[in-house]
Chains A and B, each alone.
Chain A
Amino acid sequence: QQQVKQSPQSLIVQKGGIPIINCAYENTAFDYFPWYQQFPGKGPALLIAIRPDVSEKKEGRFTISFNKSAKQFSLHIMDSQPGDSATYFCAASIGGKIIFGKGTRLHILP
């Protein structure tokens, strides 16, 4: 019930491509769905987030698509750059507590 399942574990994309990371959840009480970016040796940093009453949110090159009925959401990165190479975590929040997926290690080839 408390899990957030994330796929793929790793992803390699050519520069300019559109990596897509997918997540699924079970607990319908989750009320906030953030995505975090983490570089080695650093803590996770909030990238973009969405509430379940919205189907899509775009901020710069990052877009979240949210399907409430399927209990799935995904992150798209437009025009990906080598600097986007990092580990990405989807997450879901309930009562301030954040439940993280296991992460996707993304590598953008120059």
Chain B
Amino acid sequence: GAGVSQTPSNKVTEKGKYVELRCDPISGHTALYWYRQSLGQGPEFLIYFQGTGAADDSGLPNDRFFAVRPEGSVSTLKIQRTERGDSAVYLCASSFDRGPEGYTFGSGTRLTVV
């Protein structure tokens, strides 16, 4: 596609439920990143994939958060036992390689945990 596509654009879930957020990167981009943006804050790094493998997952806040990219393209961010504090916009970005140039962000998924 022309840009990074994230689905759904909005997700409302009940506390304790499991959610999956999807990211379709730009075709040919090997690097994929997940960020979380809380209201009034800058995006915070969660995890970075180079190809199929997670090259850096140091930003994942705890073991309720997990992400996969099984075929080196689409990625899914999975959140178990959601808490109200998980409410935020989850942003995905992709680039041709691990360098920061050419980072392109999607519009994000707004997750609300009620």
Contact = CB atoms under 8 A, between A and B. Distances in A.
A42 B100 contact: no
B105 A43 contact: yes
A55 B99 CA distance: 21
A100 B56 contact: no
Give chain B's interface residue range (CB within 8 Å of chain A). Answer: 20 to 34
Main secondary structure on A side of the interface with B: strand
A32 B99 CA distance: 9
A24 B80 CA distance: 36
B107 A100 contact: no
Contacts, number: 60
B100 A96 contact: yes
Contacts of B107: 41-43
Give chain A's interface residue range (CB within 8 Å of chain B). Answer: 20 to 34
Interface string A69-94: 00000000000000000000101010
A95 B103 contact: no
A54 interface: no
A96 B48 contact: yes
A34 interface: yes
B98 A43 contact: no
A103 B41 contact: yes
Contact of A43 (B56, B93, B100): B93
Nearest to A98: B100
B56 A97 contact: yes
B41 A95 contact: no
B72 interface: no
Contacts of B106: 43
Q: Which 5 residue pairs spanning A and B have beta carbons closest together?
A: A100-B42, A43-B105, A93-B100, A96-B98, A32-B100
Interface of B: 4, 31, 33, 35, 40-45, 48, 55-56, 59, 91, 93, 95, 98-101, 103-108
